[in-house]
Every structure is written in structure tokens, then in C-alpha cells.
Structure 1
Amino acid sequence: MNFPYEKEFRTYCKQKKKLADSTISLADKSVTTFWNYYAANVDSDANVNDVRAGDIRNFLASLETKLHFKSNTVNKYLSHIKMYFVFLSEYNYIITYPLLSLRGNKFDRKQKYIINWMPYLPDLIKIKDIHPETVKMMAAIAAGFKPKEIVVLKTNDLLKHVDNDEVKQYIKDHTDYSKSADPYIFARKNGEPYASDFNINQRIAPDRQIIGMQLTTHKLRMSFVYSILSDHQLSDNQILKTLRITLKSLTYYRKNMTLYVETEDFKLD
């Protein structure tokens, strides 16, 4: 399977990076191998804008655990994948660069996620300096909404899925209704939604120090996914319904949880 913008990437390597044809072929092979891995594990049509650092970490870890590649070989794959995503970002083919957390040619074999934070939302709203956007984001994730849905999520749609009255009232009290009777939970000054979650993630990032966990739409979604998977009282059908994923994705997440993920229960100091 060809990866997105393959022809343009090869031209970039040749004309801008001045790489030899043999090096370009190696980079092409690395990116193709990654893309085939990624495309085989997503719900629907693979979109390069949806790739996250965790997907790349899992791929690199699979090279070690399944194919028994040595570290220097894995690092070559990482270098080529980084070059590919730098190219995509530089030419605006993607909105968010996914490799900021993969510095140098090293990566954590285990991803750490804080789980089971959802019941603490009523306590979080009582924290003096917490940003309302953080509470809204966590409430939306806890309600099962996916990152793409949250960017264009309306307030009333969120409130329908919030059971706690205090949290529901907090969201109402910290929502600007001047532009609409049913505004987006994250809106620009003109009332329109953001084009992506980049600005939202920047606004909630400072609360990481308060809450003690990473705060991005993707990280929160994955911590929610692994929270649900850690509940052994739930049947497969209940998990599929709660997460709104396919059986294929459930298998993928379970494999990740076994091989590549470390979890820790949420604690509020």
C-alpha cells in the first residue's frame, strides 16, 4: 500500500534534502512499513492527520518484540518516519505534528496512562485555579465523545450525557451563551468552533500540573479507553458500546494494553 503523499515525499528527499537514491528508497520502505501497520489497525479509512505519537511508539515496539529488530535498526525507522512527518508538517499536509514527544532517536517502550479519573469530576470542579475548558474536555471524554467530535460538540449535547448535577451546573455557569442558545463547548470569540483541537490543547495544558496527568484530547481519550478496558466486569458488547469502536479496534487496544501500556489509577492530592 502506498502511503499518503509518497511521490511528494520522494521529491522532497531528492530536491530539498539532497539524499541519495538508495537512502530515499530506505526511507520509502520504512514509511511504507509503518503506514501498512497503521492502516491495518484503524477503524476506517486511514488518515495521516489522525496519526499520533502512540501509534508510532507501538509500531516501533512491534519491530522489537515481533520482528526482533535491534535498537539501531529501529532507530533508523524512527529517523525516516520523523523525516516524513517533518515534510508533512512543513508543507501543511497535516495539522498537528505527532512526534514532539519522541525526542532524539529514543522512545519509551511503555506508554503511561492515568486511568479511572472519571468519578473525580465533581471534585475537580472545586479546584480554585482549574480552567473551565479542562473540566469541559474531561466531561466530554468521560461521556464517550471522541476527539474529532469534541471540536464541534454543542453544549446541550454534552449536558445530556453528564449525570452529576454539580458538574452540569458548572458547565452551564462557565459557558458563554451570548452568541447562541446552544454554543459549542469550545468556541472562538465569534462563536464558531476551532478548526482543530490544537488551540484547545494549549488552553488546558497548564492544568497538567494541578491534575497530575497529560491533558490533550488524544491522551484523555486513550486514558478513558484503558479505564474501560481495565473494568473486568464489563462484557465485550458493553465495552464496544461504551467506546463506540469496532471489534478490530478492541483487539488492537487490548494488545497494546498488554504489551505497550502501563496504567496507574488516578489520585487527587
Structure 2
Amino acid sequence: MSNDYPYQDTFEIDLQNKGLAKVTINEYTKILSDMFDYLSDFNKGYQENHKVSNLFNRDIEEYLQMLLDEREINHNTYNKVLSHINVYFNYLFTHQLNSNLPTIDIKGLKHEPKSELDTSWLDKLNDILADSNVHFYARMTVLLISKGFKSEEFLQPGFYRLFNQITFSDEEKIFVNLFNKFIEPIQLKQNSQDIFLKQRLAKDPHITSAGLHKYLTPSEQYLGFSLSPSELFKGYVVDFIKKNPDLSDSKLSSQLNLDLSSINYYKGLIKKD
């Protein structure tokens, strides 16, 4: 069976060896196949001999510009496509399959402003959990907030006891298993069973709120929306209230573990939005 793009077999084996989920690898296949199909149809340099070594930054930029102009993708999608293409060319370069890095000078686009009440991340949760470009701590943060926990709760020492009682979906379990493989050596090093731990030995191994943000920032830039735990929690609460319009304020207060004044605050946000 012929490849959909150059070096597909070895590249995707490398992705598998890095522990990427099948859904993420399929995304690479879709993006790279589309790019090389486009280059085969419209790029004169690539049409001549179909050699990857003939591709330069202007060729990749031409494809990306087409996505913006003709398919009208947003800036967040543009940055995700560029990231995947960059991973591919880095693989070729480091494995001496190509002598140049055509994406090295291509910059991502500034993220477009989102609505103050962004709940869209909840619909993308499974995709985010399966995306190895997002740091494990960032993915765990998103997962736990989607379960209704605040960062001040899951950063507390001893939270692992509560974590072990959470019910996860099948897709979430796949991520939790991967996370466990990531965190186990750190737990052994730090002699702690908690799940947010510093990676270097420290007297207090627990990550602080400020420390967590250092892990969230690169993933935030990649995903294109705020990973501020307070903003994520705001989105979670707003989404819950919208999906449960028949619940009384007292029941919302009980189920969300918020006081009534907070419920009124969030309902006010929904009305303004």
C-alpha cells in the first residue's frame, strides 16, 4: 500500500513510539496528506520530482495561506496545522531524511479573541486529552475542572485520595492511564502519591498555583484559549447552569458546591453574554 505522504510509515511509527493516541496520529495523516495533495496539484517545484528536499518555507506558507483564504480556517486551526507540519519536518531533519527545515521561520498567528464565557473547550475535551502536544499537567487540569474541581482543591496535598474515586469515561480512562505512566516516576522521586508534583527534587514537592501556570502557558498558546483555572471553572459552571435550566438555585448551589451569591453572579454573566 502506497503512502499518503512521504515517509508516512516511519514517521507514524515514531509517533506511536512516543505514545501518541490513534486519534492524534490520524490527525497528522489528514493534515499531511492534504498538504502534499495540494503541493502535487498546485506547486510547480514539487510537481517536477515530488522530493521533500525541494520544499522551502515559501511552499509551506503558500499552502497555509490557501487554508486561510479559501477554506477560511481560524487562527487557532492555522497554528495547530503549522504545529503538526513542524513536527513532521523536525522528524525528517533529525532522522537525516531531509537537509532543511522549511517551517523554521514560519510564525504562528495571534489568537483571535474569544467570548468572555468560553465553554467550547468542554465539547473538545476528548480531543484535548488525546493531544500529546498539550502538557500532561494542562490536560489533567482541564479534565479535573470538567469534573467540577477548582485548582485550589486539586493542588492540595492528599487530593489523590479523592482523585481515585472519580468516575471517568472510556476516553478519559485512556488519558488517565497515560498520565499515570508520566507521573509514576515523579511520584517515586518525590515520595508522594499526589498528581501535581515538581519534576525536580524539592523539600515541598507540590506544585503551587504559580508553578502550574508555567506548565499551562505553552499549552494555552497551542490550543488558542485561556487555560487559566479560574476562567476554565467559570466556563464549567456557566455550561452546567445552561444545561440544567430546571434546577433551583439551591440545587445548583448544592451540586456546584457554590454559595447562592455565586450562583447569582454566574447567572448574571449568562444574561450579559
* TM-score, scaled relative to structure 2: 0.48
Determine which structure has greater relative contact order: mean sequence separation of CA pairs < 8 Å that are 6+ residues apart, divided by chain length: 1
* TM-score, scaled relative to structure 1: 0.49
More helix per residue: 2
Greater C-alpha Rg? 2
